[in-house]
Chain A
Amino acid sequence: MASANSKKINLKLKVWRQKTREDAGRFEEISAQEIPVDASFLEMMDIVNNRLIKEGRDPIAFDHDCREGICGSCSMVINGNPHGPERGTATCQLHMRKFHDAQEIVVEPFRATAFPVIKDLSVDRTAFDRIIAAGGYVSVNTGNAPDANALPVPKEKADDAFNSATCIGCGACVAACANSSAMLFVSAKVNHLAVLPQGEPERERRVLRMMQTMEDSGFGNCSNTGACSLACPKEISFENIARMNAEYMKASIKRRD
């Protein structure tokens, strides 16, 4: 099939290679030849990997799945920026037309104590699941629900909750944060549920438990640099963090135990 744009570029990749969790890891220089500019960053990695396999070398491990910016699997820090230079973009949505011929691209995994590297660019983000398990839900058993329209929710609130709820759990906020803090992730969930009447009954318990789990998982503390929001592929607002701070303070004061 003909290609929409036949332009191709060559790139010099400096990719982090790490065999196992325990391995120290190092950068390896790998060239990427004849990359169509319409290819996505992950497709570029596919092309490189297919060559490595044919040469009998170990392909670069990286997480990916939906390749349309919603599953949150893809990670990678590209030339210093999580998910690359474009705002509001996941690595899978980053296209090679944003790079130029002969450019050097440094590709690193997300780095944080709480996100240990498993192999190459693939990291373990199960800490996020633990944080959700600690309270990122409404405790309503199946079958207990009243009619969906029984409780009106103003559009502004629904939209507000939705904006927080668009988080894809990729961890770019942690990767970008100078302190490897997960505050944007946690606060997005806390606010999503705090804004809605359905989340009200567990509001205080939720923020306290989720924050406790975040701290216990080895994430750092927020220093309001806003780097998280800038790196977020869904551009989740930094406002979430400020609002969670208030939420947390209130919950701490009101707690009875």
Chain B
Amino acid sequence: MQKSLSYLSSAIGRKQLMAITGLVWSGFVLTHMAANLLIPFSAELYNKYSHALITNPAIYLAEGLLVLTLLVHIANGVKLTLENRGARPQKYAMGTNGSKAPRFQSTWMIFHGSLLAVFLIWHLLTFKFGTDYQIVYDGVQMRDLHRLVIEIFAQPAYVIGYALCMVGVGLHLSHGFYSSFATLGFYHPRYSPMIQGLGYLYSFVVAAGFIIPPLYVLMTKAN
């Protein structure tokens, strides 16, 4: 049993776990972002979508999966980072620079990662466990999440904090997306640059997609 688990405790095995769990969340944030784009268009659609999501029994499975993958991602990330710090106890007086400096977001994963962890708790407290307004559409009673969203996004300070966190999401994804493919062993001199490009596009779209609705709300609903 121990031998069979050795892959999962190896340097590459744990990295691949990071990659897989990261990709699961990359998929999740994309759908989440897409749903958020309903906010400016229609309260009804948005609420109905939310209702459908949380009443589907599969949601427990999905939430379980997300929680599990997130915990694995965080625990592994922290452990790997601590190990990596231990691999160089004496720091350099100067870091790599000029043509030998790697892209900055790649060396700061633990920082924007930590930011995202804090954001996530804040985000869940604000929305998932926020005020439970109710509304009825077509005879079906459901949570009026849209009303809560509008209330929250009408606060300029909140939106600024939220937007900054979404920039963090973008940075984290811009390295994580491409990095995951490399970690899982995909590399091709012709296609990998495309994946990297796709990763940038993807992370920009996700970050922008999350920032647009609150900005829209702030500008239209704030008084």
* Contact assessment for B94 and A79 in the assembled complex, using a CB-CB cutoff below 8 Å: yes
- Closest CB pairs A-B (n = 6): A246-B185, A242-B187, A80-B94, A220-B87, A179-B84, A180-B87
Chain B residues close to A by CB (< 8 Å): 3, 6-7, 10-16, 80, 83-84, 86-103, 106-107, 109, 175, 178-179, 181-187, 189, 192
Complex CA gap A14/B94 in Å reads: 11
A218 and B102 form a contact (CB under 8 A): no
CB distance from A238 to the nearest CB of B (A): 8
A59 at the interface (CB under 8 A from B): no
Contact of A111 among B11, B90, B189 (CB under 8 A): B90
Question: Contact at B10–A82, with CB atoms within 8 Å?
Answer: no
Chain A, 71-118, CB within 8 A of any chain B CB: 77, 79-82, 85-87, 106, 108, 111-114
Judged by a CB distance under 8 angstroms, whether A41 is at the interface is: no
**Beta-carbon contact of B91 and A111 below 8 Å:** yes
Q: What B residues does A205 contact at CB under 8 A?
A: none
Query: Are B103 and A225 neighbours in the complex by a CB distance under 8 Å?
Result: yes
Q: List residues of chain A with CB within 8 A of the CB of B181.
A: 242
Question: B185 contacts which chain A residues (CB < 8 A)?
Answer: 242-249
Distance in Å from the Cβ of A122 to the closest Cβ of chain B? 15
Q: Of A25, A81, A246, which one neighbours B96 at CB under 8 angstroms?
A: A81
Instruction: Please tell me if the beta carbons of B16 and A218 are within 8 angstroms of each other in the complex.
Output: no
Instruction: Name A38-69 residues within 8 Å CB distance of B.
Output: none
Contacting pair B87 A179 (CB below 8 A): yes
Select B106's contact among A87, A226, A239, beta carbons within 8 Å: A226
Question: In the complex the two chains form, is B92's CB within 8 Å of A108's CB?
Answer: yes
Q: Given A179-B84, A221-B84, answer yes or no on A245-B96 (Cβ-Cβ < 8 Å).
A: no
A227 at the interface (CB under 8 A from B): yes
Check A257 against B3 for contact (C-beta < 8 Å): yes
The answer on a CB contact under 8 Å between A224 and B96 is no
Q: Are A231 and B100 in contact (CB under 8 A)?
A: yes
* Complex: A69 Cα to B15 Cα, angstroms: 33
A242 touching B87 by the CB < 8 A rule?
no
Q: Do residues A180 and B84 form an inter-chain contact, with CB atoms below 8 A?
A: yes
Tell me if A111 and B97 are in contact (CB < 8 A).
Answer: no
User: A222's closest neighbor in chain B, by CB?
Assistant: B15
C-alpha spacing A245/B80, complex, angstroms: 16
